[in-house]
Amino acid sequence: MNIPELLSIDSTILILIDYQERLFPAMHDKGNLLSNVLKLVEGIRCLGIPIILTEQYPKGLGTTLPEIKAMLPDVTALEKICFNCCDNENFCTALEHSGRHQVLLAGIEAHICIYQTAIGLARKGYQVNVVSDCTSSRDPDNKKAAIDRLIAYAMPPTTTEMALFELVKTGSGDIFKRISSIVK
């Protein structure tokens, strides 16, 4: 069995895909989805991990939700029209420049942009971790199908709390206390 390395603060990057104003309201369980995304972003910022943010055709689907944008004043969204972010040159350049090889991937929709991007990233040699409680589709069956297929391709999901504590590594110290307060 090929067991991946645990997430590391120095090796991880968070990719947030298409949490947009006109798309988000149609997502299944959007209240929990937004709550989890905000916790994830706050925890990742606390740990000093870089973030890439994308927007799918913002002229038609709107820009990133204001709640998320407010937490990322120094992050510029990368516009795209492709479903697989790896087909976008600006995305690939930003990812390569990060020097990171472990990806936390979260966004919408699970069965389209998340699924295709996860496959694209894995083909490029990245260790992909889809954050399932920060990922959704309009229809929960589509999300389940995407997660099931990613599991079949050796990309099992993680959760906000699981990923953050995997990055922290220890149950003591100020960082642990900060992350604990975020996930509660």
Is 2 domain-assigned? Answer: no
Q: Which domain holds residue 52?
A: 12-183
Question: Could you give the number of structural domains in the chain?
Answer: 1
pLDDT by 10s per residue, the chain, length 184? 678 899 999 999 999 999 999 999 999 999 999 999 999 999 999 999 999 999 999 999 999 999 999 999 999 999 999 999 999 999 999 999 999 999 999 999 999 999 999 999 999 999 999 999 999 999 999 999 999 999 999 999 999 999 999 999 999 999 999 999 999 8
Tell me, letter by letter, the H, E, C secondary structure of the chain: CCCCCCCCCCCEEEEEECCECCCHHHCCCHHHHHHHHHHHHHHHHHHCCCEEEEEECHHHHCCECHHHHHHCCCCCCEEECCCCHHHCHHHHHHHHHHCCCEEEEEEECHHHHHHHHHHHHHHCCCEEEEEEEEEECCCHHHHHHHHHHHHHCCCCCECHHHHHHHHHCCCCCHHHHHHHHHHC
Is 1 domain-assigned? Answer: no
CATH code of the domain containing 131: 3.40.50.850
Is 19 domain-assigned? Answer: yes
Is 4 domain-assigned? Answer: no
Is 5 domain-assigned? Answer: no
